Amino acid sequence: MHISDIGEHALIERIRARVPDAPAWVIAGIGDDAAVIAPERGCVDVVTTDSLVEDVHFRRAWTSMRDVGYKALAVNVSDLAAMGAEPRAATLSLALPASLAVTDFDELIDGFLELARAVRVQLVGGNLTKSPGPVVIDVTLIGSARRRRLMMRSGGKPGHLLYVTGTVGGAARTLEAQRSEGPTVQGSRPPVRLRTGLQVSRNKVAMACVDVSDGLADAVAQLAKASGTGAELNADLVPRAPGATIEQALYGGEDYELLFAVPKRWRGRFERIAGRDVTVTAVGELIAPRDLWVTRDGTRAPLGAGFSHF
């Protein structure tokens, strides 16, 4: 059965039936012209949007629609984690081919809602439209944070240590394996570093943060640029996912780890607090001259450019 067989209203009903009861701060959820949310008292709103496009960010042959739905929310949670903001409400906008199977539609929603439940995000609205092209999933995520606890990209200073969570290069390694070996290689879900981002911001043990979505090299460049500094990255220290090359670790993208800038005197507290849920590794340092360097096998060279989506 295709989604065009059951129509828009029935699809919305299928979503609504799966969404848990809204908490009290949701004044109007799915079904009106717009959703209505009471802001968190004493907090600012933090808003991010990110999308997944079929055959760009995923292939249906390689990834289950459940994992696609999960990832569509995960990449947005990653952005709020990097700000130190608690996610609260999401909208989900889907452009779908009329031939999509209803079971695939359900799987997509189930994967999205699985993560939503885990991170306590309420789906409050969205949009459904047909498309002659690929599946496009757009998620906007709204969270809250106390203003003084926000971690901006621009908070870095020369001398701050750069720490990365988990390992990098794994997503790129999997993608290359899929390209050469086909759909027998299962994709994996991105990590969700929300707890780490929130703990670090609550305890004020980092001055800046960015999520590693387009490769570690790009994340370092973005953080340094926003902070008005340069950076040195020590490639020999970068924690690589099993089987990942150093190129994949630096330039691969889609890792969704967090990169923090930490004043040296906070090093011990940072490692204790951030290290509760995930390993954290010092991989470099911010420097005053606005240049980007990478040291590899003891040799220092300019840090290459990151990933471009075009």
Binding site for a copy of itself (CB under 8 A): 3-4, 6-9, 11, 27-28, 31-39, 44-51, 53, 55-57, 79-80, 82-83, 85, 89, 91, 93, 95-96, 98, 124-134, 136, 138, 140, 142-143, 145, 147, 150, 152-154, 209-211, 226, 308-310
Closest approach of a copy of itself to the CB of residue 125, in Å? 6
First to last CA, the chain: 35
Paired tokens of 289: 């001259």
**Closer CB to a copy of itself, 35 or 172, in the complex:** 35
Asked whether the beta carbons of 220 and 181 are under 8 A apart, the reply is: no
Distance CA 276, CA 309 (A): 34
DSSP state of 101: B
**Closer CB to a copy of itself, 23 or 39, in the complex:** 39
Asked whether the beta carbons of 73 and 139 are under 8 A apart, the reply is: yes
**Closer CB to a copy of itself, 134 or 240, in the complex:** 134
Closest approach of a copy of itself to the CB of residue 145, in Å? 8
Closest approach of a copy of itself to the CB of residue 133, in Å? 2
Distance CA 108, CA 66 (A): 5
Say how many C-beta atoms besides its own lie within 10 A of residue 270's C-beta: 23
Paired tokens of 124: 């409050």
**Closer CB to a copy of itself, 148 or 265, in the complex:** 148
- The DSSP string of 238-287 is --BPTT--HHHHHH-----EEEEEE-GGGHHHHHHHHTTTS-EEEEEEEE
**Closer CB to a copy of itself, 123 or 233, in the complex:** 123
Give just the sign of the alpha carbon dihedral 111, 256, 94, 182. Answer: negative
**Closer CB to a copy of itself, 35 or 244, in the complex:** 35
Closest approach of a copy of itself to the CB of residue 306, in Å? 9
**Closer CB to a copy of itself, 11 or 273, in the complex:** 11
Closest approach of a copy of itself to the CB of residue 166, in Å? 17
Closest approach of a copy of itself to the CB of residue 60, in Å? 13
Closest approach of a copy of itself to the CB of residue 279, in Å? 22
Closest approach of a copy of itself to the CB of residue 271, in Å? 22
**Closer CB to a copy of itself, 142 or 161, in the complex:** 142
Among candidate residues 120, 156, 124, 161, the one with its CA nearest the CA of residue 140: 124
Say how many C-beta atoms besides its own lie within 10 A of residue 12's C-beta: 15
Asked whether the beta carbons of 35 and 123 are under 8 A apart, the reply is: no
Question: Could you tell me which residues come within 8 angstroms of residue 274 by beta carbon, excluding any fewer than 6 positions away?
Answer: 163, 165, 196, 199, 200, 205, 206, 260, 280
